[in-house]
Amino acid sequence: MADNKRNIILTGDRPTGPLHIGHYVGSLKRRVALQDSGKFDEIYILIADAQALTDNADDPQKIRDNIIQVTLDYLSCGIDPERSTICIQSELPALYELTAYYMNLVTTARLERNPTVKAEIKMRGFNEGGVGLPVGFYTYPISQAADITAFKANCVPVGEDQMPMLEQCREIVHKFNSTYGEVLVDPQIMLNENTACRRLPGTDGKAKMSKSLGNCIYLHASREELHQKVMSMFTDPDHINVSDPGKVEGNCVFTYLDAFCNDDLFAEYCPDFSCLDEMKEQYRKGGLGDVKCKRFLENVLNEELEPIRQRRARWEADIPAVYDILKAGTMKARETTGRTLSEVKDAMKINYFEDDALISEWEAR
Ligand code: TRP
């Protein structure tokens, strides 16, 4: 099957808020690089609105508001609609049919063991205070497997928090293929090599950037917003005077520099040092103030965000074009996912109206 040998990427995001620099460095930047590498036959980016609804059932307006927002974020980062197909999950009915068939291949015990689901249940307090666990949320790893397999993706570049989702998906692929025949493609997760990029903490030093904590730097942050966020960033609380020795570990400024800085930027923005290791060494010894490090970080981030701001301004001036890109991408994805669904139904022999043997077998009895 030719389709099963092609290099196909699928990634996606839940449209629950504007994307931030954690998304960018953990995944978006690499998507653009993979797109520009020309090594992939097809690239799909899924706006996972239905998945977002699994724990936002009371707020579809929030999801709706972020459809164009997230698309603008993609386009501003350099996702090129000529080479990457952006599509909306809820507009792809084949995904729900696949989910229904895959549900029969997964046990409740297996879902309960999924570490991401476990952690999220805890974080959202579903099982406490009598809120209860929505079935749709509980089963979203199965629908995510439908997302991935429907596009026949062999490569899924996502954050490491998605590892359990990929494992679950691969189990479904193996189970399906061994039960019904080789139809589905075994996907590989592709993680970021730079570990600092894998999970960027919030500007307050908390584990994750989150809208409700107000500790995000959004991709759409203006120069002023960025300045304010960087200057108020969590550093080493024991580093009080410039002369004090400071800690680099757990210090956001350095964590962000690890993720964003390349040493060439020192010549222009902080010529006292030639590389990040030198800067860290001085900070550890004492004699290097937070403000100087923050100014450098601000410049480093502006260097990255400025081209993104400029592309955004161009797309924002033409929202109907953004809408058309979404629509065209979704139509293309409908075809792709519909084809996989047909193959799945063929393999399961439940494609009754494409199957004349159903008549002849019956007549021969
Ligand atoms: N679960 C992913 C997240 O929370 C979003 C997502 C949905 C996804 N479907 C996907 C990612 C398929 C990769 C492939 O970020």
Q: Which residues neighbour 178 within 8 Å (Cβ) at sequence distance 6 or greater?
A: none
Tell me what pLDDT residue 129 has.
66
Nearest CA, atom 8, ligand 1: 12
Local structure of 162: helix, strand or coil: helix
- Residue range 190-205: average pLDDT? 83
Question: Alpha-carbon distance 299 to 292, whole Å?
Answer: 11
Residue 10, CA distances (Å) to 53, 66, 140, 267, 328 in order: 20, 20, 17, 38, 17
From ligand 1's centre to the CA of 82, what distance in Å?
22
Q: What is the largest CA-CA distance in the chain?
A: 92
Nearest CA, atom 15, ligand 1: 13
Residue 104, CA distances (Å) to 98, 99, 100, 107, 167 in order: 10, 9, 7, 8, 17
Nearest CA, atom 3, ligand 1: 13
Residue 5, CA distances (Å) to 8, 81, 146, 211, 343 in order: 9, 23, 19, 40, 16
- Residue range 96-116: average pLDDT? 95
Place 293 in a pLDDT band, splitting at 50, 70 and 90: very high
Tell me what pLDDT residue 1 has.
47
Burial of 341 (0-12, 13-18, 19+ CB in 10 A): buried
Question: Alpha-carbon distance 348 to 365, whole Å?
Answer: 21
- Residue range 9-32: average pLDDT? 94
Per-residue pLDDT tens over the stretch 138-154 = 999 999 999 999 999 99
Per-residue pLDDT tens over the stretch 53-97 = 998 999 999 999 999 999 999 999 999 999 999 999 999 999 999
Q: Where are the domains of the chain?
A: 8-198+319-363, 223-314
CATH topology of domain 8-198+319-363: Rossmann fold (3.40.50)
**For all residues of the chain together, what is the average pLDDT?**
93
The DSSP 8-state label assigned to residue 218 in this structure reads B
Nearest CA, atom 2, ligand 1: 13
CATH topology of domain 223-314: Tyrosyl-Transfer RNA Synthetase (1.10.240)
Place 210 in a pLDDT band, splitting at 50, 70 and 90: confident
Residue 152, CA distances (Å) to 11, 80, 100 in order: 12, 21, 18
Residues with CB under 6 A from ligand 1: 10-14, 46, 48, 51, 144, 147-148, 156, 158, 162
CA atoms within 13 A on the CB side of 81: 21
* AA identity, residue 169: C
Question: Alpha-carbon distance 219 to 315, whole Å?
Answer: 14
- Residue 136 scores a pLDDT above 80: yes
Pocket test for ligand 1, best of 165, 166, 172, 185 (most atoms within 8 A of CB): 165
From ligand 1's centre to the CA of 11, what distance in Å?
6
Of 197 and 117, the structure prediction assigns the larger pLDDT to: 117
Tell me what pLDDT residue 118 has.
84
- Residue 327 scores a pLDDT above 70: yes
From ligand 1's centre to the CA of 166, what distance in Å?
10
Closest atom of ligand 1 to CA, residue 51? 7
Question: Alpha-carbon distance 124 to 55, whole Å?
Answer: 9
Pocket test for ligand 1, best of 23, 51, 74, 163 (most atoms within 8 A of CB): 51
Of 221 and 213, the structure prediction assigns the larger pLDDT to: 221
Place 130 in a pLDDT band, splitting at 50, 70 and 90: low
* AA identity, residue 154: N
Closest atom of ligand 1 to CA, residue 165? 1
What percent of the chain has a predicted confidence (pLDDT) above 90? 84
- Residue range 326-351: average pLDDT? 98
